[in-house]
Amino acid sequence: MLLPLLLSLVVCAAASFTFPTRLVLQSPGGLFLENLAVRPNGKLLITSPESSTLHMVDPAAPNPTFDQVHTFPNVTALLGIAEVKPDVYGIIALVLNDTTITAVPRTVAIWRVDLSSGGPPVVNKAADVPDGMFLDGLSAVPGEPELVLGADTAAGRIWQITALWATYGIFNSNSRHDAFAPDAPAPAFGINGLHVRGGDLYFTNSQKETFSRFPIFLRGGNVAQAGPVKVLGSANGTDQFDDFAFDSMGRVWAATLPDTLTVFFPPVQGNTMLGQLNAPGNPVEFNRPTSAMFGRGEVAQQHTLYVTTQAGQLIAVDTTGIRG
């Protein structure tokens, strides 16, 4: 099937996409929205580095509200959130030093929030990450509900964390991995978003402006690197990637500072940027997007990309048009 392959390469020249976009909610006081998880019931759990409270939004409600789910003790910031099993989430919590934009030493922890009973949330601390500098992105590991991977954006490390312990894993036991590190001291952001998919770990590095992956394998509850890091794409100009989502076709939608999302497909090869979303001037502009996730439930929800921004926007993007 050589001809269709060539055609698809021609069609893959980078473009600019405009999709119907709706502001679902603006956070009170413009609270910085950092990361989100989509519950099986379609509601969105949202974290902020300026709040110790986990919030929830029902994007299908006629007038969505910013509801409190749980307030974590002795922390100031909530970062990455990942569903480890149905309606159970890991969350990064820490005390943020606003000057250095790193965690106050010995304050980083992973908490577990269980919403699966339908009753009040069951919340407990899963593990301290005492040497974490600034954990930002968090990924679940399919089939390993007790394990999460955390991106230490300031240190340039990936932590693997279970309910019992936190270590560097075998990724970089004594040194920073160059592909994870920022190329500048904090507050530069290195590895940021990360997600395990199909035997690979995909990640962004904000300061290096890269989107990359490497193969992993699981042995005895440990994630190990099984091959070299491959850079799959770079940001346009001075743009920087934050977190990203896969759609059902395997396309990657990466929140991109300052004002767009970058789409990659197929994500397994290099130089595969399809294009960028909703250039400035659209009715709803992305104001420093931080993360993106597709809705769950009916087909329309599965094609709806929910995007959070530093300016406190929760934006719904109808991506159906990319299929046409």
Binding site for ligand NAG (CB under 6 A): 14, 16, 73-74, 97, 99-100, 104, 236-237, 275-276
Instruction: Confirm if 199 and 225 have CB atoms less than 8 A apart.
Output: no
Rounded Cα distance between 96 and 49, Å, is 8
Tell me the closest approach of the beta carbon of residue 223 to ligand NAG, in angstroms: 29
CB of 262 to ligand NAG, least distance (A): 8
Q: Nearest approach, Cβ of 64 to ligand NAG (angstroms)?
A: 30
Q: For ligand NAG, which is the closer residue by CB, 71 or 74?
A: 74
Chain center to CA of 282: 24
Considering only CA atoms, which of 25, 55, 56, 62 is closest in space to residue 43? Answer: 56
The residue among 237 and 283 lying less far from ligand NAG, judged by its C-beta, is 237
**CA-CA distances (angstroms) from residue 179 to 123, 183, 203, 286?**
34, 10, 10, 27
Q: Choose between 39 and 251: whose C-beta lies nearer to ligand NAG.
A: 251
CB of 292 to ligand NAG, least distance (A): 17
β-pair type (157-162, 109-114): unpaired
Instruction: Kindly list the distances between the CA atom of residue 273 and the CA atoms of 240, 303, 322, in Å, as whole numbers in the listed order.
Output: 14, 20, 14
**Residue with Cβ nearer ligand NAG (139 or 278):** 278
- Cβ at position 104, least distance to ligand NAG in Å: 4
Which CB atom, from 7 or from 14, has the smaller least distance to ligand NAG? 14
Give the integer Cα–Cα distance in Å for 272 and 162: 34
Asked if 255 and 268 count as a contact pair (C-beta separation under 8 A), the reply is no
